[in-house]
Structure 1
Amino acid sequence: MNRRSTVTLTALLIAGGVLTGSSVPALAGGTATTHPRPDRPDDTRRTQQQVTRDWVQLWNGDYALAEHLIAPDVRVRAALLDGGDGSAVHGPAGMVDLIGQIRGAFPDLRFTVEVGPIIDGSHVVVRWVADGTYGGGFPGATAAPGTTVRFTGTDTLRTRHGLITDYWLNADTLLLTTQLGVESV
């Protein structure tokens, strides 16, 4: 491979997120320069993978993980079913409350990762699928308790020192509410 194709391949790998920071190899005839990124203090790939596993387990009802996973000043950005934007969620207890409200209508709700984790420094993205059984109590639902539901979403997390500091949620709530027979207003 000549120098030009090596440079092009390296540039593509860097742009695609495959090579970052200290993993950038020296180019033929030159030396690699690494620059520390201030947004990545200690969030290694292994740490991010563990954060992802714990995050899914938290959503699957293991609330004890919240204290060791969620930053006290976590910021949630989501279009919630109650019309909120997530800004009312504060700290680990707030996240547990949010998850508990959702799981309250679907006690056996199970989240699995469909795509990811996609890791880029301090950011982690996962596409998930949620399967469960409607237990009742969802506002406006006409579906009978026992109705099975399946919906999807994408979570984007920002971490610092292994704690989730920011959470963006995109969920297919239209699919969920349709399965529950919620009439549009």
Structure 2
Amino acid sequence: MNNTDTTTTNDAATALVDKWVDLWNGDLAIADEIIAIDNRVHAAMFDGGDGSAVGGVSGMKNFVAQMHSLMSDLVFSVEVGPIADNDHVVVRWVATGHYGGGIPSAGAPVGTEVTFHGTDILRVAGSQVAEYWLNADTLDLMTQLQVGAG
């Protein structure tokens, strides 16, 4: 691969990640453009699931909306990346917001400020996210929200 190909790949990865961050920051309409209809999600979910139920465009919209229902002012930003390797793109992100309620057994009061981190791995096909691996520091988030405490 020559430098021109690498630059194009990096530019495409950056453009996709910019839209990915927009999605996670609440622009649900962009999901129709960047999420493949057969998108698969791999994640440890709050309900104990593995993410396989979060498929396709509507599943991603619902997943993002669920996170925003817990923290309506949730803002994601990229700390590292994007790092592109063939058809995969990786980003390290940070999310900040204020807890809005809704997590059973959370001891933190509504309005508690939270910050948590994670890493997303995206498999890209045809300029869309075809597969998504989420590795978030849920333990840190749940600790800040005092889930199970008290």
TM-score computed with the length of structure 1 as normaliser: 0.76
Unaligned runs of at least 5 residues, structure 1: 1-20, 25-42
Counterpart AA for 2:135? N
Correspondence for 1:149 among 93, 114, 123: 114
**Deviation at 1:148?**
0.3
Structure 2 counterpart of 1:165, from 100, 124, 130: 130
After superposition, the C-alpha distances for 1:47-74 in whole angstroms (9 at most, x for unaligned) are 2111100000100000010000000000
Deviation track 1:88-109 (CA, whole Å, cap 9, x = no partner) reads 1121111010111111010000
* Percent of pairs with identical residues: 53
- The higher radius of gyration belongs to 1
Q: Please report how far the alpha carbon of residue 45 of structure 1 lies from its aligned counterpart in structure 2 after TM superposition.
A: 2.5
Letter in 2 for 1:62: D
RMSD: 1.4
Q: Structure 1 stretches (4+) deviating beyond 6 angstroms? A: none
2:101 matches 1:136? yes
Q: Find the counterpart in structure 2 of residue 109 from structure 1.
A: 74
CA distance in 2, matches of 1:131, 1:68: 25
- Matched with 1:183 is 148
Asked if the contact 2:10/2:83 (under 8 Å) is kept, the reply is: no
SS in 2 for 1:53: helix
Greater relative CO, 1 or 2 (CA 8 Å, sep 6+): 2
Secondary structure, in 3 states, of the residue corresponding to 1:44?
Answer: helix
- TM-score normalised to the size of structure 2? 0.93
How much has 1:22 moved relative to structure 2?
Answer: 3.6
2:47 is aligned with 1:82? yes
| Aligned residue pairs, count | 146
